[in-house]
Structure 1
Amino acid sequence: MTTRIEILTSGDATKVLEQIAQRFNDLSDPMNEIAAIMEGATEDAFAEERSPVTGIAWPALSENYLKQNPKRVGGQMLQVSAGGLASSITADSGAFWAQISSNKPYAAIHNFGGLPEMAPGPAAIDQRQYLGVSPDEESDILAVLSHYFTEN
């Protein structure tokens, strides 16, 4: 069973309702801003070597890893070179979505960490979360949406 409600209004109310409907039809502008906020949170996570969600510092690189990679001693944990993970992060958005992503096959394991049953070395690594937003960035996202729906 389908229910239909019709509301008859004066010209001004109809105009406002049409504007609201149009705003919901394509959210590309606020989604683009939201993608930029998420990308900024990720860039900050790499720069500060902290989870963007909790603010907790990433675990130090293992002694074994540092022995195998002496150039990494005292350096940044995740690659920040031109071809590294940090530089692979891209933001994208559309009418109803915003995302950040990486084309690196190892991106997920760095963000989520390996499992204890995985072999040591390339798989069983500590989580170094770089995706997500802080409460402040979440407030920024809500402000973008609020501004979009309340501006004239």
Structure 2
Amino acid sequence: MGFTIHVDDAAVLAALRRLVGVFDDRSAIAKEVAELGESATRLRFRTETAPDGTRWKPSLRAQVSGGRTLTEAGHLSGSISSQSGADFAEWGVNRIYAAIHQFGGTIRARNAGALRFRLANGGFAMVRAVKMPARPYLGISPDDASDIVAMIQRRLQGALNAP
């Protein structure tokens, strides 16, 4: 069983061409998605929340001396950037220590018997290992996903409504 549809309506054909055009050049929507991801990630540092909406575990430094978790000097949040192209949208950070904060994990002394670091109260500590809790900042929240779908819908609707 099969069927064929022939459309002679110039307006319908023009709308179909515009829709195809939206999918031919996806660089504009990819740029919007990358910018949304970058902006949402920056907001997570201000609100100290993961993409799933859970609050980050406060750092000892933030608890003792105030301020925000993961923002003592602002290097991690300051390195957030995005880029996009015809077939990709990405955002992230460029700090070597970014993954331990995103995923958590244990930092162990490698070349010495212990890790030595300054405490929030000004003193020092020496330990064999430090367990870092995960504080996810990269990802797509449910609101981000809804915004991305809405962006795509606006582009498609704009193509249909264009003269």
Unaligned runs of 5+ in 1: 1-5
1:133 Cα shift? 2.7
Q: CA separation in 2, counterparts of 1:25 and 1:98?
A: 16
Match of 1:143 in 2: 150
Structure 2 letter corresponding to 1:95 = A
Tell me the number of residue pairs that the alignment of Structure 1 and Structure 2 aligns: 135
Structure 2 letter corresponding to 1:98 = A
Q: CA separation in 1, counterparts of 2:157 and 2:72?
A: 40
| Identity within the alignment, % | 33
1:129 Cα shift? 0.6
Whether contact under 8 Å (1:38, 1:133) holds in the other structure is: yes
Structure 1 letter corresponding to 2:73 = S
1:7 Cα shift? 6.8
Moved more, 11-20 or 92-101: 11-20
Match of 1:3 in 2: none
Q: CA separation in 1, counterparts of 2:88 and 2:57?
A: 32
Q: CA separation in 2, counterparts of 1:93 and 1:149?
A: 20
Q: CA separation in 1, counterparts of 2:46 and 2:15?
A: 45
Match of 1:96 in 2: 87
Computed over aligned residues only, the root mean square deviation of the Cα atoms, in angstroms, reads 2.5
Whether contact under 8 Å (2:80, 2:92) holds in the other structure is: yes
1:137 Cα shift? 2.1
Structure 2 letter corresponding to 1:59 = K
1:73 Cα shift? 2.6
1:13 Cα shift? 3.9
Q: CA separation in 1, counterparts of 2:22 and 2:72?
A: 39
Q: TM-score, normalised by structure 2?
A: 0.71
Structure 1 residue ranges (4+ consecutive) displaced by more than 6 angstroms after TM superposition: none
Structure number having the greater strand percentage = 2
Q: CA separation in 1, counterparts of 2:20 and 2:54?
A: 42
Q: CA separation in 2, counterparts of 1:78 and 1:111?
A: 10
Larger Rg: 2
1:79 to 68, 71, 76: 71
2:132 counterpart SS class = coil
Whether contact under 8 Å (1:111, 1:128) holds in the other structure is: yes
Q: TM-score, normalised by structure 1?
A: 0.76
1:135 Cα shift? 1.7
Unaligned runs of 5+ in 2: 109-128
